[in-house]
Structure 1
Amino acid sequence: MSFFVNLLMIKKIPFLFVCAVLFSTNLQAQTDSKSANQEIRIINRVLDSWHERASVADTTYFDLFAPEAIYLGTDPKEIWTAKQFEQLYVSYFRKGNAWNFKKKNRNVYIGTNAQYAWFDETLDTWMGLCRGTGVMEKEPNGQWFIKHYSLTVLVPNEKIKEYVFLINGEK
């Protein structure tokens, strides 16, 4: 009888090992998911704050850009470094004339190492609906900064021919 009990115990060891590995993997996935959700909440707060700062013409708006950040505006010629963008618009902020973009929705995605994130957001603006897309980087101190931002005016498909004609004229 003892032989059979020992045989059953030997067969249970691999099973128990597999169960332990699966359980620990599941715990790690839950931890990673919680961590990613926490980072997404932080990023949403940073972006909400960024838009809020512009709406009240707060010059700390520019502090949320990484030093090497790029901002792409709606005009094809609007490609600026963070420094150029600030130099161009800080005087408007100081006069209280900035912009007020209201977030309608936003999607945030976290990179595997949780050091980078990218997002897209639909904004209600004076130009109508716009889409902002961007990349953010997490600094060693845990703070997120905007590395790249692109703003585009959204054109509904049923209006695209009128839009193309408006931009290109009659050919």
Structure 2
Amino acid sequence: MILALLAALALQSSTPPGAPPDPASVQADSAARGRAAHGAAATLDRMHAAASRADGAVYFDQFAPDARFIGTDNTERWGLAQFRAYAEPFFAQGKGWTYRPRQRSLTVSDDLAWFDELLDNDAYGALRGSGVLSRHGPDGVWKIEQYVLSFAVPNDKARAVVGLIAAPIP
């Protein structure tokens, strides 16, 4: 029975075993991955733009319902409801935050995408964002599942930064 099933599947395959893949199929797969990557990147871009405009509705719409935001402080590991409770009062006052993506690496595999990006901020300088997105709903809309914001500390300054963090507060 299993052999018959395997034989039937082999007969349905358009590519014989051991043969190179069809170039048209490879190009179609590549184009689909490119569109998916563009969609995931657009979600990140909307998130950054909305934060800069203090537009909480658009900002939080980029996140999945059970998303996590991990901030720069070691106490900042928030579910979406906690993060919203923290950020909405700032947005309500018209106060947002601006992180400008300078460089982004994004990888897509099926309905998941993971990324890291270098960000510029006027107050903090260089930071790094990283995380995961997934597709949601019948339209496959990309939503942020997890976003991690961290300071990009140059290696030659790491000991001094760690020393400041470990120092007792007067």
User: Structure 2-normalised TM-score?
Assistant: 0.83
Indicate the structure (1 or 2) with the bigger Cα radius of gyration. 1
Query: Is 1:132 aligned to residue 129 of structure 2?
Result: yes
After TM superposition, give the deviation of residue 18 of structure 1 in Å. 7.4
CA distance in 2, matches of 1:164, 1:30: 48
SS in 2 for 1:51: helix
CA distance 1:18–1:70, change in 2 (3 Å): closer
Q: Partner residue of 2:112? A: 116
CA contact (8 A) 2:132 2:147 kept: yes
Q: Report sequence identity in percent.
A: 35
The unaligned stretches of length 5 or more in structure 2 are: 1-13
CA distance 1:77–1:124, change in 2 (3 Å): same
SS in 1 for 2:160: helix
CA contact (8 A) 2:46 2:62 kept: no
CA distance 1:18–1:119, change in 2 (3 Å): closer
> Which of 77, 89, 92 does residue 91 from structure 1 map onto?
89
SS in 1 for 2:94: coil
CA contact (8 A) 2:15 2:22 kept: no
Structure whose residues are more often helix by fraction: 1
Query: Is 1:107 aligned to residue 101 of structure 2?
Result: no
Q: Partner residue of 2:29? A: 32
Question: For 1:47-106, what per-residue CA distance to the aligned partner results, in whole angstroms no more than 9, with x for missing partners?
Answer: 111100000101120111101101000000000001110111111101111100001010
CA distance in 2, matches of 1:101, 1:18: 47
CA distance 1:38–1:97, change in 2 (3 Å): same
Q: Which amino acid aligns with 2:32?
A: S
**Residues 45-84 of structure 1: pairs in structure 2 closer than 5 A:** 45-59=42-56, 60-84=58-82
Q: Partner residue of 1:158? A: 156
Q: Partner residue of 1:144? A: 142
Q: Which amino acid aligns with 2:27?
A: Q
The unaligned stretches of length 5 or more in structure 1 are: 1-16
Q: Partner residue of 1:14? A: none
